Structures are given as structure tokens and as C-alpha cells.
Chain A
Amino acid sequence: MVKRLAKGTVLGIWLLITVFPLYWIVVTSLKPKAEIFSMPLKYWPANVTFEHYAELFEFADFGRYLANSLMVSLVAAAAVTVIGVLGGYTLARFTFPGRGALMLAFLVTQMIPLFIALGPLYLLMSDLDLLNRLAGLMVVYVAMLVPFSTIIMRGFYERVPVALEEAAQVDGASRLSALVRVVIPVMLPGIAATFIFAFVQCWNELFLAITFIDSEDAKTVPVAMNSFITQYDIDWGSMAAATVVSVIPTLILFAAIRRYIVEGLTAGAVKG
């Protein structure tokens, strides 16, 4: 009993620590500007206002940024997942010359500081006419996430018995159809986890987006939010409102496939 109580207390405290900053951002987003900068601090707005939210959609065209972000993240995450499913499979099931080198090359990409590649990448994107286009952003996001998805997928395959797909192949199915019909269903949690991981990364990505996008038409949510920081001040009210709005899609996705995530995210790393 004492133990359960202790456990409950610890979990409760951690919950408080996690939730409080989120609570605070919601409160800030509901305060009128004058109240945000007034003492003493109020833990609930004296006058609840939705002006910051209204501003987002009227003035900043936030709807379009949300749509752009959604488009880029969904497509890139889907592509990354498909490429990972195929690449991970071959890495797990075959030996071939250069396999070790390839895995190493994938691992090393994680260690490359983004900022040494940024300048040249910009020139390349310009040459390919991919600047200021959602397609361009998708392409760089795929490149950024493919190593991770491939390696994590490989880990998942290693947990699936080879016998399973051999049985299917004996029945006359081709390798690809065995993969699609037998192996992939077993791996669904892993695939879901990879997808959501990739989605969240794309959804939140800032540095590449501000580098490659400056047209109003193609701005994503983080780019738009970054522009709330001006020389004159940080517009904390709008910033807070935008944060709340921008987190919602991830939250929905997260809730929908939470079950898979815990299982998925690490399993790949287990045998990495």
C-alpha cells in the first residue's frame, strides 16, 4: 500500500512537471496582451480572450500554413516509410558487397552538422528549381529521414522469422508479394511508429524550412511561427496560440496510434 502510494506520488509529480508548461502556454495564449506583461502574474487570465487565435487565422493566414505543413509532412513521412520498408528488408535479409559500408554511411549522416551542408544544399536546390516549393521541402526531408527509417526497419525485419516468408514463397508467391502479404502485416506497429516519427520530425522542422522557403504560398507552420520573433519583440500571445494550434495535429495522430509507438520506436533499435 505504502509502495503504491509512493509510486502514485512520484508519477503525480512528474505529471505536474510535464503538464505545467503546457498549461502555462495555454494560459498565455488566452491573456490579452497587456495582461501578459503585467505584475503580479495571474495564473488564469482575468479576461479570457481569443484575440490571438483570431489573429492567427485572419491576419497570418495560418490555415494555409497548416495545410502546407500537413501536405509536406504526410507525403515525406509516407515516402520515408516506403523507402525504409524496402531498404530495411534488403539490409536484413541479404548479404551483398557494400552492405556494411552502406549501413555505416547511413549512420554517419546522423553525425553531420546540418550547417556545413546548408550553403551548398541551397545552391543545389536552386539549380533543381526546388526553392520555395513544397516538393522541394519534401525531398530534403526524405533525404534527412531515410537513413533512420531504413535502419530502424531493418531492426524490425530481424525480429520476424524468415520461416514465415519462406512458407509463403513455397506456396508460389513472389518475393515481393510475400513481403507485402505476409511480412508487412506482422510489422504494422513498426511501420506505424516509423511513420509517426517521420511525421513529427517533418512537422517540427525549422532550419531547413526557413532556408528553402520564403514565399508566402509555401510557408510551413514553424516558418510562420519563427516570424513572430521580430526585432521589436516576441509576440508571446500569438506565439502561444500558434503553439497550441500547431501541436494539435500531432496530438491526434499520436493518440490514434499510440499503442504501436511504444512497441515500434525501439524495437528497431533493439538489434541495430
Chain B
Amino acid sequence: MKSFLALAALTVLLAGCGSSSGSGPGEVRLRMVESLTSPERTKLLKSLLADFEKTNPGVKVELISPPLDSADQKITQILQTKKDLDVLEVRDHTAKSFSNNGWLGELPTTEWSGWAGLTDLTQKKAVEVGGKPYLIPYGFYQRTLFYRTDWGLAAPPKTWQELYEAGKKMTGGERFGYSFRGGKGGADYAVMMISAYNGEALNPDKSFYLKDKRTIFATAEAAQALDLFVKIFKEASPPDSVSWAYPEMVQGFTSGVTGMLIQDPEVIKTVEESGVKAWSTAPIPKGPTGYAYQPVGYAGWGVTSFTKHRDQAVKLVQFLSESQQSIRFAKGNSLIPISKQAQSDPQFSQGAWKAYLEAQQDPKQVITIRPVDYPGWSQFLVDSDRDVQALLTGKKSTADVLKAWDAFWTDQAKKVS
């Protein structure tokens, strides 16, 4: 018993010593948190931070890499305490709520020499929330179609109807046409199809609404789109894909289970490293009237409003956003880069990247802005995914789902105005 207590006392003592790692005199310690964590990315980010420390002696950066699943939740929690955080990753999903709560500090724009080197899109997105520069994006995500060229596809499908037909042809035995997403994030794809089917009527600046202020879910076209969505799942996709999210979709494609996949550019790298050799990319499919809509996803670096080392924190964000570092980061993660310099970089215009150029030049491939700044946005993300699963498993009808989404966004519109 005595030794027991002694052991306890000893370990408490040890614990006390071990956990207080003080910083040296005059040294500035920045704490930085990332959100879209992955082992590879974290490694790359750490090497960039090491470069920053080298050029800024006396500054140390501690990187926090919370597990992806709950990262934004975690960042919110840290922000709530209003201490011990200087630099953070802000996503399009979280920017509005972080700024609402007064947690983000404004960044310099034109006063900063690097600002002019950013692409127009980057500058626009940097000030998208509340008109103030709360973050500098580090790259953009946009979806593209990946397809097998050795599974009997002469040309990539141009419309969703064609994708359905091509997928059905590929399906048989152990093979399926399409890497369907029925799990987390699945509703996003339903919305993508519904948007395309609404065609010209859609308002790209508030992409869940039409130009006549109704929601995109209220139309007959929406019902057509969602019916086809279910058909693609039932007739051209693995039954398992009802619960597929990002990893399973990509694995499905790279392991030769599925022949088509719609995903972000970072998959280019994954596919290149996989066993699949005969493949290509194309812009995302369109609706019957020839339109395709998708948002451009982004995330970036920002500083907190309560940082005690504002100068160094801003410096770090600027360092990461300068062309050399930002291109390295975009390449490492295969993202659409933020730097004007990258436009002349061959890597971003060759091979699989060609589809992005093609989409950029097509006026009917429209970039939209989602209502991420509406109060119900995060609730909708959770709810709509479950509605999609209910739809796929026959627990809800197309009409039920559309009715619910229409009601939700009609109500949101009232809350915002």
C-alpha cells in the first residue's frame, strides 16, 4: 500500500514537470491549428513552417492537427476560450460563424506586397465573408469527372443522362459504373444534379435559389434530377455505396471496382499512384439544357482576433500565401493554386488538369456561391445527408425529400432578409 502511494506521488510529480514546456526569453511561440488534416499534408505543412522558423529566428510555431472528423468542432472549442491560438485554418463552411463570433482578425490586403500576386478568384474569396479579409485562401477545390478509358467508354459522358447510361453498361459482375456517394457529403451530389437540371433559372450567387426567389428544390426539374440520382445509384453503382463517403469512393475507383468518379483535384495524385493506368478526366456532366453548376470550395489561413502576437501571426499567413510556398502547397495536395505565377506552371495545365482548363473556358460550366452564410447551413449538411440515405433506401420518396429541403430553405430565406 505504501509503495502504491509512493508510486502515485512520484508519477504526479513527474507529470507536473513534464507538461510545462516553457519558452525561452524573447522567443515567440505561435500556435496554429489545421482543419483538413491528413498525414501527407501535415508533413508538408510542417516543412513549410520549418522554413518560416528559419527565416524568422525567435519564432516557433506549434502545429495542432486534430482528427479530421471533429476538427472544426475542435477549432470552435479552442476559439471559445479566446486564448492560446494565433493562426488557424478557416474553411468556407466555418468562415461566417467564426467571424460572427468575433474570433477572426482582419488581414492586410493592398498594404501587403504579396496581395497583387494572388489570382482574382483568391482576392474575391478572401473578402467574401462580411466584406472583410478574414482569410487568405491557400487553394481551391473543384470537382471533375474521372473515368476509365479501358472499360469501353469511347468518350466521357457529357450529361447526367449519359453518365447513367454509360454507368449501366459498365455494371456487371464485380464491376460497377459509378463511385456513388451516399454517405457523408452525399447530398452535395444530389444538389449538384438538381442545380444542373434547373438550368438557366438558377441564381449562381445564391445557388440554392432561382432567379425568381423560389428554391431550386421546388421545381419539376428538381424531381427529374433526383429521380435520375436514385436510378444511377440503383442501376449503375455498388449497393454498398449507400454509405460511401470520400475514402470509399476514391478506393472504389482506384481498386477497380468502379469506372467513374466525380471528385476534387487532390484525387489526381491518388489515382496516379494507384494501380489504375488507363484513365482520364473531363468536366462534370451537365443537365438537359446544357448547364452545370458547382461551387468552388476553398479554405485558407487566418489569424485570431485575440492573438498576442499579431505581427508574427500575420507574417506567417503571408509567408504561406506567397507564391513559392503556396504553389508548393497546392502541388503537394493537388489543389487549384492561388498564385498568378502558377498559371504559367506546366503542372497545372497538363494531363488530368486539362479538364479544369476546359471547364474554365466553358461559359455553361458555372461557378456558384452556396448559402454557407445562412444560419441553417451546418444543420442542413447533417440533415440532408440523412435524407439522401433515406431516399436511397426507400424510406423516403423524392417528393418528401424535395418538400423538406424546399421548406427548409424557404424558411432560411425569411431568416436572412
On whether A and B touch (CB less than 8 Å), the answer reads yes
**A residues bordering B, Cβ < 8 Å?**
34, 37, 39, 71-72, 74-75, 78-79, 81-82, 119, 122-123, 126, 131-135, 138, 180, 184, 210-211, 214-218, 226-227, 229-235
Q: B241-255 vs A: 1/0 string, CB under 8 Å?
A: 000001100110001
Distance between Cα atoms of A227 and B40 in the complex (Å): 12
Assess whether B347 is interfacial by the CB under 8 Å rule: no
Q: Is the CB of A122 within 8 A of B81?
A: yes
Could you give 21 example pairs across A and B, Cβ below 8 Å?
A37-B255, A71-B18, A122-B80, A123-B81, A131-B81, A132-B19, A134-B15, A134-B18, A135-B12, A135-B15, A138-B12, A214-B78, A215-B64, A217-B19, A226-B67, A227-B39, A229-B68, A230-B37, A230-B39, A230-B68, A232-B250
Given A75-B8, A218-B19; 15 other pairs, CB 8 A cutoff: A78-B8, A122-B77, A122-B81, A126-B81, A126-B83, A135-B12, A135-B16, A180-B1, A184-B1, A210-B67, A215-B62, A215-B64, A230-B67, A231-B246, A234-B247
The one of A82, A211, A231 in contact with B5, judged by C-beta atoms closer than 8 angstroms, is A82
Contacts of B174 in A (CB 8 A): 39
Q: Pick the most buried of B36, B69, B77: most chain A CB atoms within 10 A of its CB.
A: B77
Could you tell me the distance in whole angstroms from the C-beta of A91 to the nearest C-beta in chain B?
20
Contacts of B153 in A (CB 8 A): none
Q: Is the CB of B77 within 8 A of A232?
A: no
Q: Is the CB of B77 within 8 A of A211?
A: yes
Contacts of A74 in B (CB 8 A): 7, 11
Assess whether B14 is interfacial by the CB under 8 Å rule: yes
In B73-132, the 8 Å CB interface with A consists of 74, 77-78, 80-81, 83-84
Distance between Cα atoms of A126 and B250 in the complex (Å): 39
Q: SS class of chain A's interface: helix, strand, loop or mixed?
A: helix
Give 7 closest A-B pairs by Cβ, nearest first: A233-B247, A78-B8, A126-B81, A133-B19, A75-B11, A214-B64, A230-B38
Q: Is the CB of A119 within 8 A of B77?
A: yes
Q: Is the CB of A71 within 8 A of B15?
A: yes
Q: B47-75 vs A: 1/0 string, CB under 8 Å?
A: 00000000000000010111111100010
The one of B19, B64, B65, B83 in contact with A134, judged by C-beta atoms closer than 8 angstroms, is B19
Contacts of B250 in A (CB 8 A): 232-233
Contacts of A231 in B (CB 8 A): 36-38, 68, 246-247
Distance between Cα atoms of A229 and B80 in the complex (Å): 26
Quick one: given A37-B255, A71-B14, A126-B83, are A227 and B65 in contact (CB under 8 Å)? yes
